[in-house]
Structure 1
């Protein structure tokens, strides 16, 4: 049964065109599992050839080449729009910005958009939305920004409480170093019931700073 849950979580990453590290697989298991048991069951899958580990991430054999290409495209996309993302982070009424979706999973296509989670100042959500539309239009990037989540700081609870939303929240990559990421996690305790092994990130990903 443990093997089944581990394989299902590895394939979840493949569903998004991505791949998980062992730590991420453990984090996104649907069932509570001791870390020692997880390590033993994962090693059994590796020894049996059902899973392969390459450069720190886990694959079923058929997806590795596609993942490498999408990972490269994802990092190039972030580099291309780094300055725009920096401007958004510093924009009036913006309190928090994170990458979500394909950007967070590093599974972008060659031509893709930026999937964002943005928190605005209280009672400034629509004003902030109009400002972001104006910024993207002035920069000629109207179709690049995709606001997957746009919430104000007084309403951080996410209504859709399911496994895939929980994974999206845990996988997001914060671009701002402040207390709002922690507040999002505290406002959505259901995430840790759905993902009983998950823990919030404690520092920014250096690749996306």
Structure 2
């Protein structure tokens, strides 16, 4: 029971970093050990009695703050509308050459959205054509920004069919992977989830999200464009685009400018089969904050237990 209580505290503490109270079923889903029967409610009651956790309605938090619950409810309500919008955008993204899967990531994949928040997408591309796909989607994003005057969607994480397994394997990437919501590309995400079974080592009670009912339809225009680049010229173009994007980001990193997440501009890993944010910024910051939170809670837990 002691080990289970510690696991429960870890789940609540992780989401507490984002001021996000969680339900009993969410705690069960994100536990780092298998759990069966009614032992989880008993563990929660023990933690509530010790005032290590607080409950407001069906939600649990490390903070005794009812406003966090109201904030979550408002975010969940807005997410309903944003998810519909994200699904529509995802379908548009799937029209572009070499895109094989589009998934909704970030806070929206966890059913939370706020006014002005962006739509984050995870892109699976055809093997050896990641940078061509990224270039076309980059043009789309710039066109949208020109007419709308702001970015409302972010396309920061790309993998191609040769690099589906997530390299960094930790609690942060496990949660991001298991909450990833496929919008388009049944086969692409079926292969992606099969390549990331390591997630069950961190989240043994969790399960991947439901696959799209159908695979992506490939229009005549998309097929013709891909046919025209499925050759040596396409190979050289993909490599050239990778070099150009990499050089651009290298220059950006020297400007000492930062994003809204306090991450340097241009902080991207740019390899042949993957394009993603550098993990030693935002990801490592979250993991560091999580460890600090766990250390604080464990010290408090030991004090209460004594």
Aligned partner of 1:168 in structure 2 is 176
Q: Does 1:186 align with 2:194?
A: yes
- Say whether the 8 Å CA contact 1:173–1:204 is kept in structure 2: no
What's the CA shift string for 1:91-123, capped at 9, x where partnerless? 221111111111112333311211111101111
SS in 2 for 1:51: strand
Is the Cα–Cα contact under 8 Å of residues 30 and 206 in structure 2 kept in the other structure? yes
State how far apart, in whole Å, the 1-side matches of 2:21 and 2:109 are. Answer: 11
Q: State the partner residue of 1:75.
A: 80
Tell me, what secondary structure is at the counterpart of 1:90?
coil
In the alignment, the residues of structure 1 paired with residue 71 and residue 208 of structure 2 have an alpha-carbon distance, to the nearest angstrom, of 28
Whole-Å separation in 2 of the counterparts to 1:167 and 1:100: 11
Give the alignment's TM-score, normalised by structure 1. 0.81
Change over 3 Å in CA distance of 1:50–1:84 after alignment to 2? closer
Q: Which runs of 5+ in 1 are unaligned?
A: none
What is the 5 A alignment of 1:46-125?
A: 50-54=54-58, 58-60=59-61, 62=65, 63-80=68-85, 82-125=87-130
Structure-1 residue corresponding to 2:133: 128
Contact 1:29 1:196 (C-alpha < 8 Å) held by counterparts: yes
Q: Point out where structure 2 has 5 or more consecutive residues left out of the alignment.
A: 214-306
Contact 2:32/2:204, CA 8 A, preserved across alignment: yes
* Displacement of 1:12: 2.4
* Structure 1 residue 39, shift from structure 2 partner: 4.4
Q: Is the 8 A contact 2:87 2:183 kept in 1?
A: no
In the superposition, relative to structure 1, how do residues 127 and 19 fare at CA in structure 2: closer, same or farther (>3 Å)?
farther
Greater relative contact order (Cα < 8 A, sep 6+): 1
What SS is found at the alignment partner of 2:94? helix
Question: Quick one: distance in 2 between partners of 1:158 and 1:41?
Answer: 33
Native 8 Å contact 1:98 1:176 kept in 2: yes
Mapped contact 2:32–2:203 kept (Cα < 8 A): yes
Say whether residues 1:28 and 2:33 are aligned partners: no
Aligned match of 1:7:
9
TM-score (norm 2): 0.57
Give 1:161 shift: 0.8
Q: Is the 8 A contact 1:18 1:71 kept in 2?
A: no
Structure 1 match to 2:155 = 147
> In the alignment, which residue of structure 1 is the partner of 2:252?
none
Is contact 2:48-2:54 (8 Å) kept? yes
SS of 1:98's equivalent in the other structure is: strand
Q: Size of the alignment, in residue pairs?
A: 202
Query: Contact conserved, 2:186 with 2:212, CA < 8 A, in 1?
Result: no
Q: Is the 8 A contact 1:97 1:119 kept in 2?
A: yes
